[in-house]
Amino acid sequence: MAAARWAPVVGLLLLLPLLPSASSSAVVLKLHGNVYPDGNYYVTMNIGEQATPYFLDIDTGSTLTWLECDAGHGSCETCNEVPHKLYQAKQSKFVPCANPMCDALHQDLGAIKNCKNGPQQCDYKIRYLDGSGSVGVLLTDKFAFQTANGHNTGSDFAFG
């Protein structure tokens, strides 16, 4: 009986985020990909000071989103086909191993943090059930967005 009294209130609270706001700064991103045959989901993001488009892979198994990058020697063992150049990771963008974001990433992945490559970078390694994975470093860079109300904005975000 008490649950029936709360149902209209809960329903209203669930609808509130869906109502448009005059000062909305929401960003809507088109999701691409599929479970089969590609096996991944991604969004196209404009990243960097020069706002270059890249496919940002959405990791549905953790809080990490990542993109394929050109790390020099042996960048990708098996890269996804992408219509753009690979991201050029700059050491100045690396998240240090001692940064709390590095701790949070490893806690989420259930992995032990290892600073073997030095304190200047946060390394990670993810393996998925299908045998694929992502190995890289956590870094931050500027993401350029156009909000739902038409304004352009940019913020630094962490990704792999």
Question: How far is residue 108's CA from residue 47's CA, in Å, rounded to a whole number?
Answer: 24
Q: Tokens 């753009």 correspond to what residue?
A: 84
* 42 contacts 56 by C-beta, under 8 angstroms: yes
Stated pTM of the model: 0.71
Task: Report helix, strand or coil for 67.
Answer: coil
Digit-coded pLDDT (tens) for 86-101: 888 888 999 999 999 9
Digit-coded pLDDT (tens) for 12-52: 333 334 334 444 556 677 888 887 887 778 888 889 988 88
Q: Parallel, antiparallel, or unpaired for β 152-159 and 32-34?
A: unpaired
37 backbone dihedrals φ, ψ, rounded to 5°: -95, -15
Which token pair is 16?
């509130």
**Helix locations, the chain, DSSP H:** 2-15, 100-109
